[in-house]
Amino acid sequence: MAVIGQDISQAKRILDAGELVAISTETVYGLAGNALNPVAVALIFETKNRPSFDPLIIHVPSLLIAENYVSEIPKPLRRLAEHFWPGPLTLLLPRKNKIPDIVTSGLDRVAVRVPDHRLTLELLSQLDFPLAAPSANPFGYISPTSPQHVDAQLGEKISYILDGGKCKVGLESTIVGMEGDEIVVYRLGGLEISEIESLVGEVKVKSHSSSNPQAPGLLESHYAPTKPFILGDLNDLISAYQSRGVNYAVLSLSQTFSSLPAEKQIALSVNADLKEAATHLFSAMRALDQSNAAVILAELMPEEGLGKAINDRLKRAATKG
């Protein structure tokens, strides 16, 4: 099982090495890794057995540090941050390019918050990167609010749990962003709507509040390229589209095709490493979508480990009918 303790230096060493640590916050315990390291972020998904690339929240020690990772903080959201950070408020903000695609599921905004917990704030202040940290539990299970909960669920998969005692809020953070001039609550959480409205006026609450820090119902359109995206056996697909004279590009796990120019094909991992494939998926899809190909041909990954998560997104992106 994992070591449970309050050694910030040990937690820092593990995180610096690209591994994961469970961290205490005021909301729930988070499974944390270097948000700027795509491989560490992929390890979060694998460790949680998370079935899809749900965007992750990044944790920073202050509003000033948050500005290193976002391109803009609209005035109403800045007002909320100044009042409620540290605290159970997550802001959805336009991201800078230094935030990897895997953190945001390829979306243009990143979810950011400053947790209200002394130990974790001290740890964050000693790191030169933010922490991506969804709840420290296997997907679909109850969120952990004590180190013992984390140890029981993930103790065999991680080495260290930063023990901050029981979480004082016990609900995930409230997620807030803007659509045009409208302030939108995407997830109800530990910060009450009335408190938010007392500062910025009336807000819109999405009727289907989600743990996904983005507008519900928009997932599929964000994952789908603008070009037709066809899933199947690549050899069969290439033969069919080649015979029809269609200009195509190929997305594979590890295969390469000598008949196709390098700019028209991307292998997600030459070693068929699904962790590496996960880190490259969204950027690869975007690159092929920006090529002059008329159609993108792709294959499903092995149904194991992160392959299941990759396949979920491939199927969502696939052209229907």
Q: What pLDDT was estimated at residue 188?
A: 76
The per-residue b/e assignment along 186-210, b for 16 or more CB within 10 angstroms, e otherwise, is bbbbbbeeeebeeebeebeebeeeb
Yes or no: say if 55 and 212 are a contact pair by the CB < 8 Å rule: yes
- DSSP-assigned letter for residue 263: G
- Does the annotation list 27 as a binding residue? yes
194 and 248, same domain (yes or no): no
- Does the annotation list 316 as a binding residue? no
- Does the annotation list 258 as a binding residue? no
Query: Which of 158, 175, 171 lies closest to 56 in space, CA to CA?
Result: 175
- Does the annotation list 259 as a binding residue? no
- Does the annotation list 194 as a binding residue? no
- Does the annotation list 133 as a binding residue? yes
The residue length of the chain stands at 321
Q: Which of 221, 250, 272 is the last residue of a domain?
A: 221
Amino acid at 229: F
Query: Which residue segment(s) compose the domain that 238 sits in?
Result: 224-317
234 and 209, same domain (yes or no): no
Asked whether residue 192 carries a pLDDT value surpassing 90, the answer given is no
Q: What pLDDT was estimated at residue 216?
A: 26
pLDDT tens readout for residues 101-122 = 999 988 899 999 999 999 999 9
- Does the annotation list 104 as a binding residue? no
Q: What pLDDT was estimated at residue 310?
A: 83
Q: Which of 179, 198, 221 is the last residue of a domain?
A: 221
Tally the domains of the chain.
2
CATH code of the domain in which 256 resides? 3.40.50.11030
Helix/strand/coil for 276:
helix
198 and 248, same domain (yes or no): no
Q: Which of 169, 190, 221 is the last residue of a domain?
A: 221
- DSSP-assigned letter for residue 247: -
Quick one: 83 exposed, middle or buried, by C-beta within 10 A (0-12, 13-18, 19+)? Answer: middle
- Does the annotation list 143 as a binding residue? yes
94 and 164, same domain (yes or no): yes
- Tell me the pTM: 0.77
pLDDT tens readout for residues 83-105 = 999 999 999 999 999 999 999 98
201 and 305, same domain (yes or no): no
Sheet arrangement for strand 131-132: 3-5, 160-162, 21-23, 30-34, 131-132, 57-59, 109-113, 89-94, 174-179, 182-187, 204-205
Instruction: For 79-116, give the DSSP string.
Output: HHHHHH-SSSEEEEEEBPTTS-HHHHTT-SEEEEE---
